[in-house]
Amino acid sequence: RLMEYDWPGNVRELENVVERAVVLSRGQIITSRELPFGDHEADGHEEEGGDEVSVEKSFFKKSVAQFEKDLIMKALRDATGNRSKAAEMLGIYRRLLYAKIKEYGLEGYPPKGRPA
């Protein structure tokens, strides 16, 4: 799938996808499950009347949002729920982290008493 996709965002988009896959990977091998292409084909951005640009933007935004959410979840896990520490690890202001936690519905994350 990586080879089939056009990569309209070039190297930066590829880098984001690979970083996300590394974060989500449960082992030493990255499978297609960790890639943000979902069920649609890698060249699916040519669907619906040739409206490639809007579909590419939508795919890119969803990929970036998912990557951002995954990073926030990882930082919250690594910081054992300490939001100030998680914000510091991410290199962002605590206020921005709170906004992102609300945006992604992560208010109770990680659950207390259970491993995330």
* Averaged pLDDT score across all residues of the chain: 77
Q: Which amino acid appears at position 64 of this protein?
A: V
The pLDDT score that the predictor gives to residue 48 is 46
pLDDT of residue 1: 66
The span from the CA of 15 to the CA of 11, in Å, is: 6
Return the higher-pLDDT residue of 87 and 49: 87
Long-range CB contacts (within 8 A, 24+) of 21-28: 23/67, 23/70, 23/71, 23/74, 24/70
Per-residue pLDDT tens digits for 14-70? 888 887 777 777 777 777 777 766 443 344 444 444 455 666 677 778 888 888 999
